Amino acid sequence: MKTSILPALRMLFVMTVFTGIIYPVAMTLLSLAVFPYQAKGSMIEKNGAIIGSELIGQRFISDKYFHPRPSAIDYNPAPSCGTNWGPTDKRMQDSAKARSAQFKLQNNLSAAIIVPKDMLFASASGVDPHISPEAAQLQIERIAKARSFNPAQLSSLKKMVEDFTQCPQLQSFGDPRVNVLKLNLALDELQSK
């Protein structure tokens, strides 16, 4: 019995050191060397202060800004989770109906408009920083009205949404998307012009 425990303990020690210390340190150093911006959290700065990460969604409730996807965790990245409600769960159905009505009301849309699904359902992480280009376009009129944009600024805003639309990864994976924080920062710059 003594002979079988010692090799097992040695293997446990070796694997703990390798997988718990050496490998994570090596991957961290490699990522810092190859992708320094991403490895440091893809932080976005404004006037020398970090205001967020392009990877984590934030709450924007003012009519002067693009609104993000709903969040099941109130945009708190610590728990990072969804609701886990299934498609037959009445709570999810009621939530989607309420969000659709709220989105139409906020953006002064007709009842016939179909609200994009990303504005109805929280993401699995609860902090998705992106919305679909369709969701962004449906918010343009509200923002232009709230900011008292002239026709030239409204045209620039429409173009800005197109410019900030990212293609699917590797042109195949996912859907086109718009980063809400980056778009809202550009929106503030457009307002100041």
| pLDDT of the residue at 84 | 81
Residue 80 confidence (pLDDT) above 80: no
CA 130, CA 165: separation in Å to the nearest integer? 10
List the structure tokens of 79: 């728990």
**What is the Cα–Cα distance from 153 to 4, expressed in whole angstroms?**
76
Q: Rounded to whole angstroms, how far apart are CA atoms 58 and 163? A: 21
Q: What is the pTM of this model?
A: 0.81
- Tens digit of pLDDT for each residue in 81-120? 777 888 888 999 999 999 999 999 999 999 999 999 999 9
Q: What is the residue-averaged pLDDT of the chain?
A: 91
Which carries the bigger pLDDT value, residue 122 or residue 11? 11
Q: What is the structure's pLDDT at 115?
A: 96
* Confidence check: pLDDT of 50 > 80: yes
Q: What is the mean pLDDT of residues 134-148?
A: 96
Confidence of residue 70 (pLDDT cuts 50, 70, 90): very high
Distance of alpha carbon 64 from alpha carbon 31, whole angstroms? 37
Using alpha carbons, select from 127, 114, 107, 132 the residue that is nearest to residue 183: 132
Residue extents of the structural domains in the chain: 1-40, 41-192
pLDDT confidence bin for 125, thresholds 50/70/90: confident
The rounded percent of the chain whose pLDDT value lies above 90 is 64
